[in-house]
């Protein structure tokens, strides 16, 4: 709403045919870098997930898309071997956070899940939040059950504290320790949210 008012106040009388949007995001959140030892919160995870998504968009538009276009035009490019390495892309961590499975999510304790059966951290959290009797400890257990293999140890590892784990953000250069205590409660839908639309329609003001 504030942006709309500002744009209206500075816009010219004549109609324009182009516009520019600048995304101003808060950056990676890492409480340990500020001396806080309690671990990052669920809100910090949301900020960092946004950053990873923006990093992936930048990677796709500036590296992957031009390289694919060169290949379509049959233009040979001498790329550094590092550019071909997937670890330099944000995609592995983004996939760990929000990937969807090809199969229906089933709450299981099976230790040898196939890669197609794995769900991302946010999906696991969403499912645990609506499951009766679920707890934060169970969410952590399921998270490491899905991503306990060696391929994901560069992205996710356990931390010594209760309900704590570490995600290696920014292509592995920014390890952030999270404390998942209270995450299930924060992820549950507030019953008042469903009634908000009806209340607004019924409001006389």
Query: For residue range 72-102, what is the model confidence (pLDDT) as tens digits?
Result: 988 887 765 445 555 478 999 999 999 986 6
Please indicate, yes or no, if residue 19 is contained in any of the structural domains: no
Q: Rounded to an integer, what distance in angstroms lies between the CA atom of residue 105 and that of residue 157?
A: 23
Please indicate, yes or no, if residue 154 is contained in any of the structural domains: yes
138: containing domain? 37-186
Please indicate, yes or no, if residue 15 is contained in any of the structural domains: no
Which pLDDT value is given to residue 107?
54
Which pLDDT value is given to residue 50?
94
Structure-block tokens of residue 23:
């995304």
Please indicate, yes or no, if residue 144 is contained in any of the structural domains: yes
Least Cα distance to 176 among 41, 24, 25 occurs for 41
Query: For residue range 147-205, what is the model confidence (pLDDT) as tens digits?
Result: 988 878 889 999 999 999 999 999 989 999 999 999 999 988 777 777 777 888 887 76
Between 108 and 32, the higher pLDDT residue: 32
Number of structural domains, the chain? 1
Residue 42: give its domain's CATH number.
1.20.58.530
Least Cα distance to 188 among 134, 142, 118, 146 occurs for 134
Please indicate, yes or no, if residue 99 is contained in any of the structural domains: yes
Please indicate, yes or no, if residue 12 is contained in any of the structural domains: no
Residue with tokens 């995600």: 167
Please indicate, yes or no, if residue 44 is contained in any of the structural domains: yes
Which pLDDT value is given to residue 82?
46
Cβ contacts of residue 159 below 8 Å, gap of 6+? 39, 165, 166, 177, 178
Q: Rounded to an integer, what distance in angstroms lies between the CA atom of residue 57 and that of residue 80?
A: 21
Which pLDDT value is given to residue 120?
92
Please indicate, yes or no, if residue 166 is contained in any of the structural domains: yes
Residues 171, 87 contacting (CB under 8 angstroms): yes
Cβ contacts of residue 139 below 8 Å, gap of 6+? 124, 125, 128, 180, 183, 184
């Amino acid at each position: 709403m504030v942006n709309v008012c500002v744009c209206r106040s500075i816009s010219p009388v004549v109609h324009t045919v182009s516009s520019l949007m600048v995304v101003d995001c808060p950056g990676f959140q890492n409480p340990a870098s500020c001396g806080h030892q309690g671990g990052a919160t669920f809100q910090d995870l949301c900020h960092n997930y946004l950053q990873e998504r923006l990093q992936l968009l930048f990677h796709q538009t500036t590296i992957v898309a031009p390289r694919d276009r060169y290949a379509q035009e049959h233009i040979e490019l001498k790329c550094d071997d590092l550019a071909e390495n997937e670890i330099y892309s944000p995609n592995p961590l983004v996939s760990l956070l929000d990937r969807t499975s090809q199969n229906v999510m089933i709450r299981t304790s099976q230790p040898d899940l196939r890669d197609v059966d794995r769900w991302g951290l946010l999906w696991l959290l969403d499912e645990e939040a609506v499951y009766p009797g679920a707890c934060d400890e169970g969410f952590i257990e399921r998270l490491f059950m899905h991503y306990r293999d060696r391929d994901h140890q560069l992205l996710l590892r356990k931390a010594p504290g209760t309900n704590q784990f570490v995600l290696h953000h920014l292509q592995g250069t920014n390890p952030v320790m999270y404390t998942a205590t209270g995450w299930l409660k924060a992820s549950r839908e507030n019953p008042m949210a469903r009634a908000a639309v009806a209340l607004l329609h019924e409001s006389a003001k």
